[in-house]
Amino acid sequence: MTLTISNQNIAFMIRTLETAVDVCYTSPENEKEGYAYAVGYSKSAMKMVIDELNNLMQTQSNYDLECG
């Protein structure tokens, strides 16, 4: 069995990463945000995508164990 990822999951991950890239470009120019905000936001976004991918892999592993 192969891992199936829904378009909704993929779209979520893409949006999360695209927003983080945008924040990296715009926050350093914003006095209220700056580089620290960009780093923190991007770190959080990357962690969310990693968590989502890990969850998908775990789901696949559980399915593989159940189905043999």
In a domain, 2, yes or no: no
Residue 51: pLDDT band (50, 70, 90) is: very high
Domain that holds residue 48: 7-67
Q: Are the C-beta atoms of residues 35 and 27 closer than 8 Å to each other?
A: yes
In a domain, 1, yes or no: no
How far is 6 from 66, CA to CA, in rounded Å?
Answer: 21
* Count of structural domains within the chain: 1
Q: What is the pLDDT of residues 14-48, one digit of tens each?
A: 999 999 999 999 999 999 999 999 999 999 999 99
- Give pLDDT, residue 5: 83
In a domain, 54, yes or no: yes
In a domain, 62, yes or no: yes
- Give pLDDT, residue 18: 98
- pLDDT at residue 1 above 70? no
- pLDDT at residue 2 above 80? no
How far is 24 from 29, CA to CA, in rounded Å?
Answer: 10
